């Protein structure tokens, strides 16, 4: 089972190599607090997510813009993002892309790249229940 999540926070500190985004449960069970977890990402991905969230245009397309342009040119659309596994502290994700003929294909992706691509368009983010359980546990 996959749980709908949303980007709840992005922490950018340019003095370090790693940045943090936080995903939280979009629709927690009634009376429950939303489960949430952080994902460590690189500075370029964090900046791309922030730029796309704010709708900041740049002169030349970056990688996420390029992929969005390729999807548009192929009459394909990103319909959802799925974070489907967590192994040794590394998250694994995929893009669900609908082709012009209606076929949906799955493309392997890093979560940060998937979110950077989909965030501007409000593409839904889903996380597998076992990933959410493992990632949201208090390490104490």
pLDDT digits (tens, 9 = 90+) for 29-48: 888 889 999 999 998 899 89
What is the pLDDT, as a whole number, of residue 126? 98
Say yes or no to pLDDT of 121 above 60.
yes
CB 91 within 8 A of CB 109: no
Q: What is the pTM of this model?
A: 0.90
**How many percent of the chain have pLDDT more than 90?**
64
CA distance 96 to 12: 27
CA distance 83 to 25: 13
Domains annotated for the chain, with CATH where assigned, are 2-135 (3.10.690.10)
DSSP for 45-113, written as a single string: HHHHHHHHHHT---SS--HHHHHHHHHHHTT-EEEEEEEEEEETTEEEEEEEEE-TTS-EEEEEE-HHH
């Amino acid at each position: 089972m996959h749980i709908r999540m949303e980007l709840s926070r992005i922490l950018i500190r340019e003095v370090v190599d790693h940045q943090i985004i936080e995903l939280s449960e979009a629709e927690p069970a009634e009376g429950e607090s939303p489960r949430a977890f952080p994902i460590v990402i690189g500075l370029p991905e964090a900046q791309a997510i922030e730029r796309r969230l704010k709708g900041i245009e740049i002169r030349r397309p970056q990688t996420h813009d390029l992929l969005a342009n390729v999807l548009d040119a192929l009459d394909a659309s990103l319909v959802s993002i799925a974070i489907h596994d967590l192994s040794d502290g590394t998250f694994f994700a995929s893009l669900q892309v609908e082709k012009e003929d209606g076929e949906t294909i799955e493309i392997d992706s890093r979560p940060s790249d998937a979110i950077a691509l989909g965030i501007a368009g409000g593409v839904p983010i889903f996380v597998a229940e076992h990933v959410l359980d493992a990632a949201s546990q208090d390490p104490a």
